[in-house]
Amino acid sequence: MIPTEPIGSIPRPLELIEAVARIGHGTPEVERFYDEAVRDTIARFEATGSPVVTDGEQRKYHNFWTYCVHGLPNTDPEGFKIPFASGHIRRMPRLTAGPFRYASYADRYLVVAQRYARVPVKQAVISPSALSLLYPAHGLPGYSREQFIDDLLGEHEIEVRRCLELGAHVVQIDFTEGRFAVKLDPSGELLTTLIELNNLALARFTSEERKLLGVHTCPGGDRGSTHSADVDYAELLPSLLRLDVTNFYVALAGEPDRRRVLKILRQYLKPGQRIFVGVVSPIDPRVETPEEVRDRIIEAADYIPLDQLGTTDDCGFAPFSDDTSTTRDTAFAKIRARIEGTALAARALGVA
């Protein structure tokens, strides 16, 4: 058997998007739209035959990155701008005062999803390295960077532990800024810093706990576009695999030269690590066929030992809550292709 897991996000139902736009996030009236969205997402997820599901991040507002700080009184919207290849920009919030605490933890999504799900549920959380960019360049009076980093690591640990305690199948740490960091600093120093920070966070868990943790990296995916696909994976992967974690979710389907990426993975893969390679691409509007997926897996199996190989989606299908570039139907069709293609590959490789 080849394990297969989703990355996380599924485009929100249009009714939900409209309701949030109309009524506003966080209002009691919008709750039933969220509940319905989660219920429907999990039902459709399970209908694909997926052995592991997520809540499609239906409740993460406004996105995979800022959900945990949304609404914090000590932030303003004047944070960094992340430019996407298609020309649009996403802007991050900025911390205005200490101390830094999460506004909410992802376990509150997990507990709802588990209520509806009949199969294991995995939960994605944002990496500490991504949140580290909240601290402003000019510093904050009375709240040093050191204090901030301490608080950040503490909050991240709390979030992961709460998800583990609820029985998350896996807690996936979204590290999509990794490749973006190489784009910002081709010297690799910035990436090293981010990896270091994430390793500091991971060090707070036991080796047994780290078997239930994973890290996801991709070139970003929003409105059918990426933020760092132009950065060579060769710059990222060797550092990424230094993360002290068991599971890696690596976008691969959308790469122009998959074999080159696979060679790098083979070179840096360590015993005990498992690589979930992306076999469907959310930013590609075309739905892959199961046979296509199968062939991609067989290709990957040339480089990665089968007992260290898994499959996933290249990225979430809608990391930002208002992204409607991909339909829910397409997302689930792609997921179904991944599930079926993975099963075909397992049979072809004799591990069904």
Shortest Å, Cβ 127 to another protein: 13
* 277: β partners: 250, 311
Residue 12 DSSP symbol: P
Distance in angstroms (rounded) separating the CA atoms of residues 153 and 167: 21
Shortest Å, Cβ 149 to another protein: 4
Shortest Å, Cβ 97 to another protein: 17
Distance in angstroms (rounded) separating the CA atoms of residues 2 and 56: 22
Residue number with CB closer to another protein (85 or 287): 85
Residue number with CB closer to another protein (149 or 166): 149
Residue number with CB closer to another protein (196 or 299): 196
Tell me whether strands 123-126 and 171-174 are parallel, antiparallel or unpaired.
parallel
Residue number with CB closer to another protein (147 or 308): 147
Residue number with CB closer to another protein (147 or 327): 147
3-class SS of residue 53? strand
* DSSP one-letter string for 136-168: -TT-BTTB-HHHHHHHHHHHHHHHHHHHHHHT-
Shortest Å, Cβ 160 to another protein: 16
Shortest Å, Cβ 82 to another protein: 8
Residue number with CB closer to another protein (80 or 268): 80
- Interaction site with another protein (CB under 8 A): 80-81, 83, 87, 89, 132-133, 135-137, 144-146, 148-150, 153, 181, 183-185, 189-190, 193-194, 196-197, 200, 203
* 90: β partners: 82
3-class SS of residue 18? helix
* 83: β partners: 89
Residue 11 DSSP symbol: P
Shortest Å, Cβ 250 to another protein: 22
285: cis peptide before it, omega within 30°? no
Residue number with CB closer to another protein (150 or 291): 150
Matching residue, tokens 């390295």: 129
Residues 6+ away with beta carbon under 8 Å from 185: 191
Written as six digits, the tokens of 155 are 């909050």
Shortest Å, Cβ 95 to another protein: 11
Shortest Å, Cβ 87 to another protein: 8
Distance in angstroms (rounded) separating the CA atoms of residues 252 and 275: 11
Residue number with CB closer to another protein (12 or 227): 227
| Contact indicator for 321, 14 with CB cutoff of 8 Å | no
